[in-house]
């Protein structure tokens, strides 16, 4: 269910809320990740059904791009729920040589046990090699960097994002951002050169301060609940 908009939370406030949810409420991080991914999968399905993301069929082919952090973990959860609902789903893994976070690794293992197709994307060349097989893909789910991004993107991931963004624009594919478009600083609204422009952003708990200035990058923003109580959110805002 979409959460009512109750103001904004900065990057640090979101991290604080996650810590309090774990330490004081006893909600493990993996539970928050499952809640976020499921909410995002449901919101994406509603956007397709409502014509917000025009597609050729009711269950379009999706490529979920996962980074190594918790945003990538959300992506693995999204992929699982879409696949269970009958959507054709593939996963692109742009981990930059890093291992997934512990929680993300759990959900990565689940998608592998489901025999979903996984494509390693270590650099831009690997993305370009993958492009010929993407003719049926209509939606790219961006679960690469999330709200933790600030400043310019470094290393091979910058090339992957630039190549992916160019392909999506050329082929008119819809990009759906998970929590925030990768490359966007959610506090300032400043976008790195490689930022992936989204047709829709599915953000968690609250909107972010930089989104208003970055509407050209975020597209419409949907605020989704991950099961944290409003009282905890208000406490974090007041600290």
**Angle at the Cα of 178 from the Cα atoms of 28 and 16, rounded to 5 degrees:** 40
Model confidence at 225: pLDDT above 80: yes
When the candidates are 3.40.190.10, 2.40.50.140, 3.40.50.10260, 3.30.1960.10, the CATH number that belongs to 11-74+84-170+185-238 is: 3.40.50.10260
Domain segments of the chain as ranges: 11-74+84-170+185-238
What pairs with residue 65 in β-bridges?
92, 142
Task: Give, rounded to a whole angstrom, the gap between the first and last alpha carbons of the chain.
Answer: 27
Q: What is the pLDDT of residues 98-131, one digit of tens each?
A: 889 999 999 999 999 999 999 999 999 999 999 9
Residue 161 pLDDT: 95
Please tell me the pTM assigned to this model.
0.95
DSSP class of residue 55 equals -
SS3 61: strand
Contact 122, 130 (CB under 8 A): no
Contact 176, 141 (CB under 8 A): yes
DSSP class of residue 28 equals -
Q: What is the pLDDT of residues 169-209, one digit of tens each?
A: 999 999 999 999 999 999 999 999 999 999 999 999 999 99
């Amino acid at each position: 269910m979409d959460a009512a908009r109750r103001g904004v939370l900065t990057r640090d406030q979101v991290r604080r809320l996650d810590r309090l949810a774990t330490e004081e409420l006893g909600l493990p991080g993996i539970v928050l990740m499952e809640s976020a991914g499921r909410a995002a999968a449901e919101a994406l399905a509603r956007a397709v059904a409502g014509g917000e993301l025009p597609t050729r069929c009711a269950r379009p082919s999706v490529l979920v791009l996962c980074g190594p952090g918790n945003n990538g973990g959300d992506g693995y959860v999204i992929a699982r729920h879409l696949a269970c609902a009958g959507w054709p789903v593939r996963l692109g893994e742009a981990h930059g040589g890093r291992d997934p976070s512990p929680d993300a690794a759990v959900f990565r293992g689940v998608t592998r046990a489901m025999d979903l197709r996984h494509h390693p994307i270590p650099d831009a060349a690997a993305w370009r090699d993958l492009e010929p097989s993407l003719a049926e893909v209509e939606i790219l789910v961006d679960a690469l960097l999330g709200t933790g991004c600030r400043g310019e993107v470094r290393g091979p991931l910058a090339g992957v994002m630039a190549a992916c963004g160019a392909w999506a624009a050329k082929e008119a594919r819809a990009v759906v951002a998970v929590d925030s478009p990768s490359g966007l600083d959610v506090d300032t609204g400043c976008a790195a050169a490689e930022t992936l422009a989204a047709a829709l952003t599915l953000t968690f708990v609250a909107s972010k301060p930089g989104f208003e200035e970055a509407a050209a990058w975020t597209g419409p923003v949907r605020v989704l609940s991950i099961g944290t109580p409003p009282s905890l959110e208000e406490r974090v805002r007041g600290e």
